[in-house]
Amino acid sequence: MNAIPSIARLTVVACLAAACAGAAPSPTPSPASAPTPTASIAARSDVCNGPDTAAEWSRMPDLVRKYGEAWMAPDDEARLTVLEEIWADDGEYHNSFGGIAVGRGEFADVMAYGMGPGQYIEVSRWEASYQHNGRVLIPWRACCPTNMLLLTGTDVGEVDADGRLIRVTSFWDHYVEEAAAEACA
């Protein structure tokens, strides 16, 4: 067994703990300096819009929508079904703290560990230019069932010739090392 589960545990503990530690999200650009979004998905605030915003995923390109569905899947079977469609056999997931998951199974394990009951992902903004030339940029927010913001970040994906993600590098905006059990309490 490789080190992915322990790396995933460390990184997930870090990101979930941000909320209970009172960590402020990264500064948001002022309206004058922020790009004008093609589709404004999530309001820019410390409060998430709620799990009902999952319907907003329908406004995303198919690959991005299905990537979100995989993260929010209710169980391993559903998650792997989505990953079978969008994730290359040897696809790699890299996070900000050196964790690497290779293949659908390892990535599914990271996703399952990273999403607690009722947690959800919102796309924080979307522009058509975020997907081009075999690349996709996904700015996201991880949220508690209570709509409390846990973590913000951006995933950068590389798409293979078959239209599947071959590599995703996830950049997280903040890191706090504390117990994750209290993050969404």
| Cα–Cα distances in angstroms (integers) from residue 150 to residues 40, 74, 105, 164, in the given order | 20, 19, 25, 28
Beta-carbon count within 10 A of 166 CB: 17
| Cα–Cα distances in angstroms (integers) from residue 64 to residues 98, 137, 180, in the given order | 23, 9, 27
Q: Could you tell me if residue 78 is inside a domain?
A: yes
Q: Could you tell me if residue 52 is inside a domain?
A: yes
Model confidence over 123-167: pLDDT tens digits? 888 899 999 999 999 999 888 888 888 888 999 999 999 999 999
The torsion angles phi and psi of 102, rounded to 5 degrees, stand at -115, 130
> Cα 147 from chain centroid?
16
Q: Could you tell me if residue 183 is inside a domain?
A: no
Q: Give pLDDT, residue 55.
A: 58
Q: Which domain holds residue 47?
A: 39-172
Question: Whole-angstrom Cα distance, residue 74 to residue 135?
Answer: 27
Number of domains in the chain: 1
CB 182 within 8 A of CB 160: no
CATH of the domain at 100: 3.10.450.50
User: Which three-class secondary structure state does DSSP give residue 139?
Assistant: strand
Q: Could you tell me if residue 110 is inside a domain?
A: yes
Model confidence over 90-99: pLDDT tens digits? 999 998 777 8
- Segments of the chain with pLDDT less than 50: 1-43, 176-181
For the entire predicted model, the pTM comes to 0.72
**Which residue, among 164, 152, 158, has the nearest Cα to 23 in the 3D structure?**
152
Question: Whole-angstrom Cα distance, residue 119 to residue 183?
Answer: 11
Question: Whole-angstrom Cα distance, residue 50 to residue 143?
Answer: 8
Q: Could you tell me if residue 178 is inside a domain?
A: no
Q: Could you tell me if residue 45 is inside a domain?
A: yes
Partners of 159 in the beta sheet?
165
Q: Could you tell me if residue 125 is inside a domain?
A: yes
